[in-house]
Amino acid sequence: MITFWVSVLALSILLYVLLDGFDLGVGILYGFARDDGQRRAMMGAVAPVWDGNETWLVVSGVVLWGAFPTVYATLFSAFYLPLLFLLSGLILRGVAFEFRNKARHLPWVWDVAFAGGSLVAAFMQGSMIGALVRGLPLLNGNYQGDEFSWLSPFAILCGAGLCLGYALLGACWLVRKSDGNVQVRAFRLIPALSFASLAVLAAVLLIALNENLQVLTRWLERPYLFVFPAIGIIASITLALSIRRRREREPFYLVAALFAAAFGSLAVSFWPYMIPFSVTIKEAAAPQSSLTFMFWGEGLFVLPLMLLYTAISYRVFRGKGSPTAATY
State the CATH number of the domain containing residue 202: 1.20.1630
Q: Number of structural domains, the chain? A: 1
Q: Identify which of 1-5, 34-38, 113-117, 145-149 has the greatest average pLDDT.
A: 113-117
Q: What is the pLDDT of residues 257-287, one digit of tens each?
A: 999 988 888 888 888 888 887 888 888 888 8
Q: pTM for the full model?
A: 0.92
Q: Which 8-state DSSP code applies to residue 248?
A: S
Domain assignment present for 219: no
Domain assignment present for 178: yes
Q: How far apart are CA 172 and CA 45, in angstroms?
A: 11
Domain assignment present for 3: no
Q: How far apart are CA 171 and CA 139, in angstroms?
A: 42
Q: What is the pLDDT of residues 294-314, one digit of tens each?
A: 888 877 888 889 899 999 988
Longest dimension (CA), the chain: 60
Domain span at 109: 11-211+287-316
SS3 178: coil
